[in-house]
A and B are shown apart, each in its own frame.
Chain A
């Protein structure tokens, strides 16, 4: 019985949201709005549960000495700092200056430092690619090198010709490949969404 009720609920809710997306109707808008509110509440509850789970996992790591304790302590301290900045008495929540400082002075530099390693990641990836599948990687590296030459900041007629060739390459061959992939992904995405609606209790 339960196996039939859950898919029916999924199909019903999904179809209401789909109709709400396609059709402007006051009654459907109200029902669709309720469903979206429930979804947002579910996501918020999941967010809280996720936070609790991260803390619990780090405490277990510390207690059972499964991993590097420094990383677990750093995670817990960071978590407590963020929660403290958002919840201390009189705090303005996410827009509180303390929270903004944590994001601007700690979080963003940490993320930026990850991005600063991009060049080294690229070298490591090319090296691994050459070992795994040499011919294809050579083509990728040659194409990247050609684009680097085309994008050189040169002046005069040579620079204009290179910039024009770079623009054409990005607009025509590279643009065609990207659009082809995007069309394929869009079709696969819409079929996957339709399949989720129509066969929620499928064999897969």
Chain B
């Protein structure tokens, strides 16, 4: 009959065998970089920072007033989650932007629910549509306006980037008096955004895709560019973890700047190739 010592010995032997059969897949540098991100975020979540000075990114703080005006004038609101979706064959960096836009959708949906403004959310991915529906349900429940829930809809416009842009161009002018487009945008960004601005009184556009930033800047009254898309929710929501994420991003940007400056100096002096180490090339 095995005793406790034998059992512990077996577990330790199993762990030892498992560890000895393991190796790092992407090198020490990239592993440390990824773990640093987790540790910085965990530290800030465990000890929330009190000093918060937010900015009005993309005029999102004015959404409540905009919805009130839309309610008075009998207007409608629309929100597009971009063209990347969540499980579509798009780059992971683009798909994560769809998730980053969901808290902002929650804020817009809450304002629309309070004002009784009809809201149409569109996405070109079935999973993104389901997530949007969950956000809408939560917004109506949180504002105790469930009787108005039928005024908000999330619609799947068909798969493919062109379907989102085509649908946007084909819809009647002024279909969304208050229009938001936030998420991953690709080469169809000009078509999608041009369709969305048609007849819109107020527009907020945002993407973290650098190549499409110029369209957001030219066409949107409120523009959310690059990393700002991930901070946008913190500008309108008082959630601790939203703000901790922004603090973490800011701190990691300072770390990146220090690495760039220090790494360049070390490289010029011929001492060490920091970039190669971080990227796993050495």
Chain A neighbourhood of B130, CB < 8 A: 46
Q: Does B71 contact A (CB under 8 A)?
A: no
Does A23 contact B126, Cβ atoms closer than 8 Å? Answer: no
Please, which residue of chain B has its CB at the minimum distance from the CB of A20?
A: B25
Digitize A183-204: 1 where CB-to-B-CB distance is under 8 Å, 0 elsewhere.
1111111111111111100111
Complex-state Cα separation, A191 to B233, whole angstroms: 14
Does B219 contact A26, Cβ atoms closer than 8 Å? Answer: no
Return B232 CB to nearest CB of chain A, in Å.
11
Digitize B86-102: 1 where CB-to-A-CB distance is under 8 Å, 0 elsewhere.
01000001001001100
Digitize A169-192: 1 where CB-to-B-CB distance is under 8 Å, 0 elsewhere.
000000001100111111111111
Given contacts A27-B18, A46-B126, A117-B191, contact A190 B217 (CB under 8 A): no
Please, which residue of chain A has its CB at the minimum distance from the CB of B250?
A: A187
Digitize B126-140: 1 where CB-to-A-CB distance is under 8 Å, 0 elsewhere.
110110000000000
Complex-state Cα separation, A137 to B223, whole angstroms: 13
Complex-state Cα separation, A24 to B19, whole angstroms: 10
Chain B neighbourhood of A197, CB < 8 A: 38
Does B100 contact A57, Cβ atoms closer than 8 Å? Answer: no
Partner among B129, B197, B229, B241 whose Cβ is within 8 Å of the Cβ of A202: B241
Does A136 contact B34, Cβ atoms closer than 8 Å? Answer: no
Given contacts A185-B210, A198-B38, contact A125 B245 (CB under 8 A): no
Complex-state Cα separation, A68 to B242, whole angstroms: 41
Does A24 contact B159, Cβ atoms closer than 8 Å? Answer: no
Does B217 contact A136, Cβ atoms closer than 8 Å? Answer: yes
Does A182 contact B42, Cβ atoms closer than 8 Å? Answer: no
Given contacts A22-B25, A114-B165, A190-B34, contact A121 B214 (CB under 8 A): no
Return B188 CB to nearest CB of chain A, in Å.
7
Partner among A23, A53, A193, A198 whose Cβ is within 8 Å of the Cβ of B23: A23
Q: Does B11 contact A (CB under 8 A)?
A: no
Chain B neighbourhood of A27, CB < 8 A: 18
Interface size on A, residues (CB 8 A): 64
Complex-state Cα separation, A121 to B248, whole angstroms: 38
Complex-state Cα separation, A203 to B48, whole angstroms: 14
Chain A neighbourhood of B174, CB < 8 A: none
Chain A neighbourhood of B45, CB < 8 A: 198-199
Chain A neighbourhood of B263, CB < 8 A: none
Does B100 contact A192, Cβ atoms closer than 8 Å? Answer: yes
- Interface-located stretch among A94-102, A126-134, A159-167: A126-134
Does A203 contact B240, Cβ atoms closer than 8 Å? Answer: yes
Q: Does A124 contact B (CB under 8 A)?
A: yes
Partner among B42, B191, B237 whose Cβ is within 8 Å of the Cβ of A198: B42
Does B191 contact A181, Cβ atoms closer than 8 Å? Answer: no
Chain B neighbourhood of A121, CB < 8 A: 190-191, 194
Does A114 contact B41, Cβ atoms closer than 8 Å? Answer: no
Partner among B38, B99, B159, B229 whose Cβ is within 8 Å of the Cβ of A50: B159
Complex-state Cα separation, A42 to B87, whole angstroms: 9
Complex-state Cα separation, A49 to B128, whole angstroms: 12
A29-45 contacts to B, CB under 8 A, are 39, 42-43
Please, which residue of chain A has its CB at the minimum distance from the CB of B26?
A: A22
Chain A neighbourhood of B227, CB < 8 A: 181, 184-185, 187-188
Return A34 CB to nearest CB of chain B, in Å.
17
Chain B neighbourhood of A57, CB < 8 A: 155-156
Does A124 contact B96, Cβ atoms closer than 8 Å? Answer: no
Does A192 contact B245, Cβ atoms closer than 8 Å? Answer: yes
Does A23 contact B22, Cβ atoms closer than 8 Å? Answer: yes
Does A185 contact B218, Cβ atoms closer than 8 Å? Answer: no
Does A184 contact B241, Cβ atoms closer than 8 Å? Answer: no
A105-144 contacts to B, CB under 8 A, are 110-111, 114-115, 117-118, 121-122, 124-126, 128-129, 132, 136-137, 140
Q: Does B79 contact A (CB under 8 A)?
A: no
Chain B neighbourhood of A181, CB < 8 A: 210, 213, 225-227
Digitize B147-179: 1 where CB-to-A-CB distance is under 8 Å, 0 elsewhere.
000000001111100100110011000000000
Enumerate the 10 nearest inter-chain pairs by beta-carbon distance, A residue then B residue, closest first. A50-B126, A129-B218, A203-B239, A188-B230, A43-B87, A188-B227, A121-B190, A184-B227, A25-B22, A202-B241
What are 28 A-B residue pairs whose CB atoms fall within 8 Å in the complex? A24-B23, A50-B125, A50-B129, A50-B159, A68-B170, A75-B158, A114-B165, A118-B190, A121-B190, A125-B215, A140-B214, A177-B210, A181-B213, A185-B210, A185-B226, A187-B37, A188-B208, A188-B230, A188-B231, A188-B249, A190-B34, A191-B37, A191-B249, A192-B100, A196-B99, A203-B237, A204-B237, A204-B239
